[in-house]
Amino acid sequence: MPLDPETGGNNIGRDCLKQEVSNTTTVTEFLLLGFSDLFELRVLYFLLFLLIYLIALAGNLLLILIVAVDSHLHTPMYLFLANLSILDIFFISVIIPKAMNTSLTQTRSISFSGCMSQIFLGITFASAELALLTIMAYDRYIAICYPLKYHMIMNKIKCVSMIAACWIISTVYAALHTMNISSLPFCGPNNVDQFFCDIPKVLKLVCADTFGNETAIFVCGIVFGLIICSSVIGSYVHIFSAVQKIPTSHGRYKVFSTCLPHLTVFSLFLFTGMFTYMKRSSESTLFKELLAALLYFVVSPIANPVIYSLRNKEIRNALGKFMNKVIFN
């Protein structure tokens, strides 16, 4: 007696499934149904995904290269920025290559382990990016509010330690969520109405009561989000308070030119995530859900290098020098 994924809250159906789990084949793969059956549309999807992926790779790799080759950018702020670009490349690589393959070959299946890997890596890179953006806000707070002590506080060892902490904490956080989901019984159906393994869609396929699991994920997300948001907001409250004390408009503009790109990137990533996962499913069509998920995974990796290149004078100057060397040498 399979449970329709659209009526995942049907307790009667869940109870019947619990009784039949022992007689039901365990799901070993999922089918990603977020693609059209029309060949022309699938080719269009492939070209769109390819274009998005190439733009994200080119922009972030260029930013990493500029930070690496320009000695003037060997500071904590740009070390964090280079790591942000690395995370963006990993983050978009979680779903886009698989989506390109599926759209072109119509191989909709993904193994159970592959699905759990997508969930694990997606949570890891998303939470690591939010943690790194929080550290970048702290870095700007120290640079603006305690400029004389900046190099002593934000030394190389401390910067590397904070980056490592981002990766370790995010990996542990993602592992706990993934183990929580993978331990649940999946006994059919196995259709995921998305072009990747999305947690809400996958949980609908569980043939057991998932209220506790969903509550745990929601509470962890809220706690994690509140810690990050309060840290960033607290940093910027002190920053804007310090900016008001700068006597010249040029000095205030210089401070804002380094803070606004970070604030824009943080807001963009946070709000696209909230738009994707904080809305009620009853208010969303499948097309809107697919579009929201696509925006969440691709907007930040594409926008981040553009925002920093356009809004940060030092990045623009370093990019100009680099392009001159490439073109004229």
Please give the Cα distance from 107 to 113 (Å, whole number).
16
pTM comes to 0.85
Q: Are 125 and 87 in contact (CB under 8 A)?
A: yes
pLDDT(291) > 70: yes
pLDDT(281) > 90: no
More reliable by pLDDT, 260 or 25: 260
What's the residue count for the chain? 329
pLDDT at position 283, please? 53
Nearest to 131 by CA among 232, 261, 276: 232
Nearest to 109 by CA among 226, 31, 198: 31
Q: Which of 34-43, 49-58, 190-199, 270-279 has the lowest mean pLDDT?
A: 270-279
Q: Are 64 and 86 in contact (CB under 8 A)?
A: yes
Please give the Cα distance from 167 to 197 (Å, whole number).
22
Up-side HSE of residue 144: CA atoms within 13 Å toward CB? 28
CATH fold of 28-328, please? Rhopdopsin 7-helix transmembrane proteins (1.20.1070)
Phi, psi for residue 284 in degrees, rounded to 5: -120, 140
Determine how many CB atoms are found less than 10 A away from the CB of residue 288: 13
Report how far apart, in Å, the C-alpha atoms of 308 and of each of 52, 152, 192, 246, 305 are. Answer: 18, 26, 36, 24, 5
The pLDDT confidence band at residue 71, using thresholds 50, 70 and 90, is confident
* Percentage of residues of the chain with pLDDT beyond 90: 38
Please give the Cα distance from 47 to 64 (Å, whole number).
26
Structure tokens, 231: 């840290």
pLDDT at position 14, please? 45
Average pLDDT score over the chain: 84
Please give the Cα distance from 95 to 110 (Å, whole number).
12
Please give the Cα distance from 234 to 268 (Å, whole number).
18
pLDDT at position 278, please? 67
Phi, psi for residue 205 in degrees, rounded to 5: -95, 0
Phi, psi for residue 192 in degrees, rounded to 5: -105, 115
pLDDT at position 200, please? 85
Please give the Cα distance from 125 to 120 (Å, whole number).
9
Q: What does DSSP assign to residue 94?
A: T
Amino acid at 17: L
Please give the Cα distance from 152 to 174 (Å, whole number).
33
Structure tokens, 188: 């059919």
CA dihedral 3, 4, 9, 14 (to 10 degrees): -10
Question: What are the tens digits of pLDDT across the range 93-146?
Answer: 999 999 898 888 878 899 999 999 999 999 999 999 999 999 999 999 999 999
Question: What are the tens digits of pLDDT across the range 146-185?
Answer: 989 999 999 989 999 999 999 999 999 999 999 989 989 9
